[in-house]
Amino acid sequence: MFELDLTIPERLRPMAWLIGRWEGAGVLGYPTIESLHYGQEIVCSHDGRGFLEWQSRTWILDSESGERLRPSAIELGFWRPAEDGKEVELLLTHPTGIVEMYYGTMDPARITIKTDGVMRSPHAKEYNAASRLYGLVDGDLMYTMDMAAVGQSLQPHLSAQLKRVG
């Protein structure tokens, strides 16, 4: 069971359930790519200030054996909750030349966000918008992501279930 760290600033407490190291697997798909299974590790931490640090790494899995085949996505960023405890921002950067700013709402054990801004380097693939839903379900971190990219409208792209480790 997750116990609340009392050194967490008040504004972080509604999303304190995200703090920790998570591992699990999910499925990715999109009209322009083959559906695949992926593994993921997320580390969400805080240093006593009013934001959470976010690190996510994924790798493609063999669909039969579950073995890691190759590295996939990396994202680094920060969760910035508003002082009202109901709104939140997620700022993310990717090594593919994409920077995203998400904005949305927090409920107990649930965060719903969508992109408010996307910046791409001149050499990045077309990527226009996304929405994400994170939730704590029976102690697991579950999420979905919809994406609008490479000429496609906003539609399902990722879903995963991760367990707290360590």
What are the pLDDT digits (tens) for 115-152?
999 999 999 999 999 999 999 999 999 999 999 999 99
Residue 166 is predicted with a pLDDT of 81
What pTM value is reported for the model? 0.92
pLDDT band with cut points at 50, 70 and 90 for residue 6? low
Residue 71: which of 42, 38, 94 has the closest Cα? 38
Q: Give the integer Cα–Cα distance in Å for 131 and 81.
A: 17
Answer yes or no: is pLDDT of 108 > 70: yes
Helix, strand or coil for residue 46? coil
On whether the CB atoms of residues 161 and 144 are closer than 8 A, the answer is no
Ranking 52-56, 81-85, 151-155 by mean pLDDT, the lowest is: 81-85
Please, what sign has the CA dihedral across residues 101, 106, 109, 114?
A: negative
Residue 43: which of 24, 26, 20 has the closest Cα? 20
Residue 76 is predicted with a pLDDT of 98
